[in-house]
């Protein structure tokens, strides 16, 4: 992990496309602004992890789905 120190109003640039600017610091809260192309998805980590979990759950086979698939294969093999 790269660790950088920045003051309010200072930025970092990532691959010529993404600019992260420190907007303010209040106690333990740091506000950042991010400029990036529209095709770049930007999420808070907890939201990103929730999306990933939901995607994995929806892609996982269910017992009912497996039973239906077995039934279809059995019927096809009988014909």
d(CA 30, CA 22) in angstroms, rounded, equals: 7
- Per-residue pLDDT tens over the stretch 11-51: 999 999 999 999 999 999 999 999 999 999 999 999 999 99
pLDDT greater at residue 79 or residue 4: 4
- Per-residue pLDDT tens over the stretch 3-15: 999 999 999 999 9
Give the CA count within 13 Å in the CB-facing half-sphere of 64.
0
Query: For the chain, what is the mean pLDDT?
Result: 91
d(CA 62, CA 77) in angstroms, rounded, equals: 23
Residue 75 scores a pLDDT above 90: no
**How much is the pTM?**
0.66
**DSSP codes, 2-66:** ------TT-EEEETTTEEEEEEEEETTEEEEEEE--TTS----HHHHHHHHHHHHHHHSPPHHHH
pLDDT of residue 68: 83
């Amino acid at each position: 992990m790269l660790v950088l120190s920045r003051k309010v109003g200072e930025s970092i640039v990532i691959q010529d496309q993404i600019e992260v600017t420190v907007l303010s610091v209040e106690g333990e809260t740091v506000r950042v602004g991010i400029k990036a192309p529209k095709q770049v998805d930007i999420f808070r980590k907890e939201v990103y992890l929730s999306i990933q979990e939901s995607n994995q759950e929806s892609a996982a086979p269910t017992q009912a789905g497996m039973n239906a698939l077995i039934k279809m294969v059995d019927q096809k093999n009988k014909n």
